[in-house]
Structure 1
Amino acid sequence: MSRPLRSGSTRPVSVRELMAVSADGSRLHAEVHGRDGAPAVVLSHGWTCNTSFWDAQIRDLAVDHRVIAYDQRGHGTSPAVGPAGYTTGALADDLEAVLAATLEPEEKAVLVGHSMGGMTIMAAARRAGLREHAAAVLLCSTGSSRLIAESRVVPLRAGAVRTRITRAVLGARAPLGPVTPLSRRILKYATMGAGSAPDRVDTCARIVHACPRVPRVAWGHVLADLDLDEGVRELRVPTAVIAGTEDRLTPPVHARAIAAALPDCLGLTELAGLGHMTPVEAPEAVTAKIRELVTACLPVRETAEVESKEEEVA
């Protein structure tokens, strides 16, 4: 299978790639970056994206962390599945499979989810695999329900007409085609802040346009009827939330509702002027929050073991 379009020629080089096998037999491409034994971070991308969405975080964190990123089913180099394979339960199955394939038993990690990746973590909140491995969670630019009712991508007043059009947009079957100046402008309006740099808009456009049509449409239908409010209430690990104030896809009302419902919320950070693609729009802020969670929530003994090994090598 050919690899998807990437954001550039300088992608971080993984130390290992593997295929995790989900509960229904679906295969998931996963990459491991950084040193064995270093504090672990697991990255779960959003709808229409792939592992390259996290390049900035991987490049920074892999210096002193073990960073695991995977392609959601039907995205990147993870194969598409049959129509019945696109559900929030499948997202949870896939995350459990990746955690089991890349972490040692009982090993803890900071789990980071953007958009549908955050929904993946919410869907897995009651799963044994998540409770075994999650030390803390970072939810970026995501929502748990009422996505089409609250979306501001369609520039109309909230109501039945806007909701109906938004549902149609999420499930649109037309191919996205090549990246063009017009498609970049559309993507920037829908998913990014007005001040986003052209190179970051181009990065997101190339990633989104590389997503195959069938899984894009299938997951669009899932998102239209999403209800993971119970998953938020069951996410009983320390969790931080990040949102862009100008996010049209998942406006800050979602982040505020999630932060209010979480059993152990470490706070909500609203990034002024940013849109939906926060890890690309504000990579330094997102990476800093991940580092903060690692320092605060990963067991001290894991970090101590890494430092001890480094001293032995020296």
Structure 2
Amino acid sequence: MDPYDHDLERGMRNRRALLGDAWVNKSIASANAFTADFQNFITRYAWHEIWGRPGLDAKTRRIIVLAITCALGRWEEFELHLRAALVGGSGASLGAGDDGPTGLTPEEVKEVLMQAAIYAGVPAANTGVSIAVKLLRELGRELPPQPATEVAHTGSGRSFRTASTPALHYTVREPRSKAVPRHTIVLGHALGCDASLWDALANGLAAEHRVICHDHRGHGGSDAPAGPYTMAELADDAERLLAELDAGPVVWIGLSLGGMVGQELTLRHPQRVKALVIANSTSGFDAAGRNAWSERIATIERDGLEAIADATMQRWFSAPFHAAQPATVARWRRRVVSTSVQGYLGACHAVMQHDCTARLPRIGVPTLVLAGALDQGTPVAMSQTIAQAVPGARLVVIGDTAHLSALEQPGPFTAAVHDFIAGLA
């Protein structure tokens, strides 16, 4: 029989990797005739039988331990694991198929405690926060003052309105890394939508970029002046927003109407844009397309937005998406019919009259064009026209998606955007 105790040795390896040699050496040195059995027990059963399982990565297991010890008020154990999480352990491999980082950032610890406040109670989370602050200070982590009134929800950004009129509602997400942002990225939504269209993409980009999402005039929380609007006015709206924020040049990402605004903004105010993503959009409509928009405008003027809502959903999402995610479709239908009729109609006129195909060769910034293979509203051919006219533009066609490709196929959409941004200077 092999005298080597594999369970004990594996457990000790994992214990050292997660808690660090100094703490483990201290625990071993203090063992005595009464505690030795317990030390052996927890090393084999906790640190090998549980921590040695590859079903969850070690970082996730750290989070689980912090949440449970906080919920149960096991503050000595909570502090032990929190200190190890902030320090990151010894950095050694656990040998469980997990060689990734096992430490937690202060931001990640904060999220654990925020969630614990909901599921374990505010008093428990409050104690956890106090312990975390004490440990961060002991470890020399900077904790600059910040008024509670200036905190923004990291999943939706901090809301503002422009000082200039018509007032535009916009949100700002500063980089979660707390570092200087690599880029400032502005996201422009589709007709009948609002800035929340971009929540998933914006939150991902905000890991290292400053992200601004705004509602076009006539949409969401922005003013809805009497129309009709022009694409030049919508582009000038974007320019004055960027001027107020002293932002630019920016990476502009626009879908549908947002893509049209991006084209016009880049042509009218080239100093404001360093790179451009045009998704599910067009540089202009032919006579048949303009007639279709004219008929849509007449229908809305006569019967309201309810009259075009169902047809809009058919264009926005493919049939399989309708079947698989009816709640999402219903949500965006509610967004359309709750839009200001005056604002929607004003923007319809801007879209109908949009025509910048002849000017596209003047766009001199890196450009990515995204198209939906099933898009009926702005078919792939319209994206091909843009990509062929803009010098150096790259076209990516996303399969199995209709008009709102960022919602229907967020994975491929996000991957294409991240790949494009990663290649920017």
TM-score bracket, normalised by the shorter chain, equals 0.7 to 0.9
Q: Which residue pairs with 1:29 in the alignment? A: 169
The CA distance in 1 between the partners of 2:215 and 2:294, in whole Å, is 25
Whichever structure has more helix as a proportion of its residues is 2
Q: Which residue pairs with 1:20 in the alignment? A: 162
Q: 1:147 to 1:236 in 2, by over 3 A?
A: same
The CA distance in 2 between the partners of 1:67 and 1:269, in whole Å, is 23
Deviations 1:93-138 (A, max 9, x none): 011112223344xx4432101111111111122333xx22322111
Q: Which residue pairs with 2:388 in the alignment? A: 260
The CA distance in 1 between the partners of 2:366 and 2:291, in whole Å, is 36
Cα offset for 1:143?
0.5
The CA distance in 1 between the partners of 2:361 and 2:173, in whole Å, is 32
The runs of 5 or more residues in structure 1 that have no matched partner are 1-9, 151-162, 300-314
Q: What does residue range 68-217 of structure 1 map to in structure 2 within 5 Å?
A: 68-83=212-227, 86-104=229-247, 107-128=248-269, 131-146=270-285, 149-150=288-289, 164-171=291-298, 172-173=300-301, 174-177=303-306, 186-196=311-321, 197-217=325-345
The CA distance in 1 between the partners of 2:266 and 2:233, in whole Å, is 13
Q: 1:97 to 1:246 in 2, by over 3 A?
A: same
Q: Which residue pairs with 2:410 in the alignment? A: 283
Higher relative contact order (CA 8 A, sep 6+): 1
Give the 3-state SS of the residue equivalent to 1:67 in structure 2: strand
Q: 1:223 to 1:103 in 2, by over 3 A?
A: same
Cα offset for 1:189?
1.6
Give the 3-state SS of the residue equivalent to 1:69 in structure 2: strand
Give the 3-state SS of the residue equivalent to 1:211 in structure 2: coil
Q: 1:268 to 1:170 in 2, by over 3 A?
A: farther
Cα offset for 1:285?
2.0
Cα offset for 1:13?
3.0
The CA distance in 2 between the partners of 1:165 and 1:230, in whole Å, is 22
In structure 1, give the amino acid aligned to 2:360.
V
In structure 2, give the amino acid aligned to 1:279.
A
The CA distance in 1 between the partners of 2:154 and 2:327, in whole Å, is 15
In structure 2, give the amino acid aligned to 1:194.
A
CA contact (8 A) 1:194 1:273 kept: no
Q: Percent identity?
A: 27
TM-score (normalised: structure 2):
0.57
The CA distance in 1 between the partners of 2:370 and 2:191, in whole Å, is 17
Cα offset for 1:55?
1.3
CA contact (8 A) 2:218 2:346 kept: no
The CA distance in 2 between the partners of 1:48 and 1:117, in whole Å, is 11
Q: 1:18 to 1:188 in 2, by over 3 A?
A: closer
In structure 1, give the amino acid aligned to 2:267.
R
In structure 2, give the amino acid aligned to 1:82.
A
Give the 3-state SS of the residue equivalent to 1:135 in structure 2: strand
The runs of 5 or more residues in structure 2 that have no matched partner are 1-152
Cα offset for 1:273?
2.3
Q: 1:243 to 1:147 in 2, by over 3 A?
A: farther
In structure 1, give the amino acid aligned to 2:273.
A
CA contact (8 A) 2:309 2:337 kept: no
Cα offset for 1:148?
6.4
Give the 3-state SS of the residue equivalent to 2:225 in structure 1: coil
Cα offset for 1:165?
4.9
Cα offset for 1:242?
0.6
TM-score (normalised: structure 1):
0.76
Cα offset for 1:232?
2.1
The CA distance in 2 between the partners of 1:167 and 1:295, in whole Å, is 41
CA contact (8 A) 2:160 2:170 kept: yes
Q: 1:264 to 1:20 in 2, by over 3 A?
A: farther
In structure 1, give the amino acid aligned to 2:379.
P
CA RMSD of aligned residues (A): 2.5
Q: What does residue range 1-20 of structure 1 map to in structure 2 within 5 Å?
A: 12-14=155-157, 16-20=158-162
Give the 3-state SS of the residue equivalent to 1:142 in structure 2: coil
Q: Which residue pairs with 1:305 in the alignment? A: none
Runs of 4+, deviation exceeding 3 Å: 163-166
